[in-house]
Chains A and B, each alone.
Chain A
Amino acid sequence: MFENLIEPSVLDALIKFGINVGIILLKIVVVLGITLLHVAYATYFERKVIGHMQVRLGPMRVGPHGLLQPIADGVKLFFKEDIIPAKADKPVFYLSPVIFMAAAMVSLSFIPFTGNFVIADVNLGLLFLFAMSGLGVYGIFMSGWSSNSKYSFIGGLRSTSQVISYEIAMGLSLVGVMMMAGSLNLSDIVKAQENSPFGIFAIPQIVGFVVFVIAAVAETNRTPFDLPEAESELVAGYFTEYSGFRFALFFLGEYIGMFIMSSICAVCFLGGWTMPWYIMKIPFLSYVPGIFWFLLKVYAFIFFYYWIRATVPRYRYDQLMAIGWKILIPVALANILITGLIKILL
């Protein structure tokens, strides 16, 4: 049919290209679907965990043990009236939740779920993740600016300065991992951990790990660093004026951001889809698929987020900045220095 128009070799290449695109699209659909479901049930998980930590029950009414609560919430959000403030900067107001959400969504494509399931196996994957989390701040700041409300504006400003400060600490805490793995490719980092004597980088890079955990909580604007959305001072912070579907986008973005941070932690410090050799010595564990280990680590870290939220009160803003600049960054720098020295000397 096409023989007259295209040479057979070109046609073959085109078909191969088409198949590749189809596979990538399929992967994207799978990841997106699972992530959206994950976000819905992450809210349920959070409410249950925090409820039980406060000796309450959490959601119990919709479905058995409140299992359908996230779906009810989602339906409610989609059918709510979409209110736009009269004095809002409308184009920016429309755009900012999309930026926030898209930046979070794009990050998903770099995460290696198992050894052979990653949408984009980029050599600079780690750097790309930083870039995307930095881009998400634009969504927050623009939403705070365009809402034309003092609460939103203060929330947006706080979020911007907080995320920028903690991004430095987070990036520096991961430099140690990059040096040990010798690569920025996330799959290579996991493989380097598998071959390292400790099995996971969290043990030799314990300082970097602690700095990363603190910075990750601050980076996603979660308690105790949730000053951008401090309820007692700022109503809801940068998304005060948003409602309905646009609010849902911010919500999705925040929970996907948590998922991304947990994934980075699992991949860079906890060994991703592999387990250390000394744990794999236990019989039958080698039959467990890698995705299970990956999700186990991710959800353990997400549980840690909730646990922290149920325990620690919010910091004051100057304390937050002092922790970021005066403690975390020097500690992370010292960690890099020591890691480098050990790498040269050994």
Chain B
Amino acid sequence: MTIKELVKKITFIEILKGMALTFSRMLSKAVTIQYPKERRDIAPGYRGLHALAKHPTIGQAKCVGCGLCAAICPSQCIKIVREKGKVEKYEIEVLRCIYCAFCVEACPYGAIVLTENYEYSDYSREALYMTKDKLLSNWDKYMAGKKGEEYFKRFWRPMSEDFETPPTQASFRGRRDAS
């Protein structure tokens, strides 16, 4: 043991250094966010609860029920039922969703979005099973007005601004030769 090491041991220099560090940390500001009172800023393009986009002028769902979102969905949580040229059912099992936003990318009509809402915990599975009505009301709640338009302009990949849905409620009937 050299003299330097001995001096280090006797003076507890390393422990004192550590204590100086903890003391300086004590005087610094805590990083805690007091959740219900304060909230973290949500990053733009946050992937939260789903919503079905409404046409800005007509106010109907943009969705035509083509089923591309359901096809691409890795956890297969989207269920679509078409009947007589209408989207009869459009349901998302939110508890199974992994928020990858593949459905948003796949949609050719810009009909499904992920909103910034992340506080939708509930006591039952049924409450988190999103039917078409719930998804449409989500749009009104979290994406109404300019926010919805901005969303498509900024966070749509690949970039495109032409999401023209037929003015009346349309539906995808599948390939003609298939039926």
Hey, which bits of chain A sit against chain B, CB under 8 A? 49, 51-57, 60, 307-308, 310-312
Contacts and interface: CB of A to CB of B under 8 A. Distances in A.
B26 A52 contact: yes
Contacts, number: 35
A194 to B, nearest CB: 30
A53 B26 contact: yes
Q: Count chain A CB atoms within 10 A of each CB in B19, B21, B31, B34 and give the residue with the most.
A: B19
Contact of A51 (B23, B30, B34): B30
Contacts of B40: none
B158 interface: no
Contacts of A54: 25
Chain B interface main SS type? helix
A275 B18 CA distance: 30
A57 B32 contact: yes
Interface string B1-34: 0000000000000010011011101101111101
Contact of B30 (A49, A56, A307, A308): A56
Contacts of B28: 55
B34 A53 contact: no
Interface in B149-176: none
Interface of B: 15, 18-19, 21-23, 25-26, 28-32, 34
A307 B34 contact: no
Given A307-B23, A311-B22, A55 B15 contact: no
Contacts of A310: 22
A55 B31 contact: yes
A38 B38 CA distance: 32
A299 B32 CA distance: 27
A103 to B, nearest CB: 30
Contacts of B26: 49, 52-53
A56 B25 CA distance: 10
A247 to B, nearest CB: 28
B19 A307 contact: yes
A307 B22 contact: yes
A56 B26 CA distance: 9
A54 B25 CA distance: 7
A49 B27 CA distance: 10
Of all A-B residue pairs in the complex, the 10 with the closest CB atoms, nearest first, are A57-B32, A53-B22, A52-B26, A53-B26, A311-B22, A311-B18, A57-B30, A311-B19, A310-B22, A55-B31
A14 B26 CA distance: 57
Given A311-B15, A311-B18, A312-B15, A53 B23 contact: yes
B36 to A, nearest CB: 10
Contacts of B18: 311-312
10 contacts: A51-B30, A52-B25, A54-B25, A55-B25, A55-B28, A60-B34, A310-B22, A311-B18, A311-B19, A312-B18
A57 B28 CA distance: 11
Contacts of B31: 55-56
Contacts of B22: 53, 307, 310-311
Nearest to B17: A311
A55 B19 contact: no
Given A55-B29, A55-B31, A307-B23, 7 more contacts: A49-B26, A52-B25, A55-B28, A56-B31, A307-B19, A310-B22, A311-B21
B30 A52 contact: yes
A54 B21 CA distance: 10
